Amino acid sequence: MASVNGVYGAALNGTYAAAKAAVIGLTKSLAREWAPRRINVNAIAPGLIAGTGMTTPDADASKGLPSQEVLDAAVARIPIGRAGQPADIASLVSFLASPQSNYITGQVIEVHGGMEQMY
């Protein structure tokens, strides 16, 4: 699991963005290494997904999580008009685990409703 922050970077969240960028690099490397064995390797890069630990507002910012105001502003910038749901990610995971995706490898699939940067 990657993140749009690993694709586009993230102000004030450089270590997280760097870690997710590493996941992307590893995905692409392993896809090439394991392709001869018919093992597909892909990454999913979610944007703002509601109902997760990273999108629970932190009123006092003690955990480094965004405030409700920041989350509301982020949702307002999503072109599709809503935050993602865990089911949006789960359905992609299911597809990638199925035989229907057997020719897809080395890809980073962004799931963000059209908003490429969260904050």
What does the alpha-carbon distance between residue 55 and residue 51 come to, in Å, rounded to a whole number? 6
| Residues with catalytic roles | 16
CATH code for 4-111?
3.40.50.720
pLDDT, tens digit, 9 for 90 and up, residues 56-98: 776 656 666 778 888 898 899 999 999 999 999 999 999 999 9
- Look up tokens 């949006």; give the residue: 88
Coil, helix or strand at residue 43: strand
Q: Which residues contact 63 (CB under 8 A, 6 or more apart)?
A: none
Structure tokens at 22: 């590493």
Question: Counting every residue, how long is the chain?
Answer: 119
The pTM (predicted TM-score) of the whole model is 0.88
Q: Where are the domains of the chain?
A: 4-111
Q: Mean pLDDT over all residues of the chain?
A: 91
Asked if residue 37 has pLDDT above 80, the reply is yes
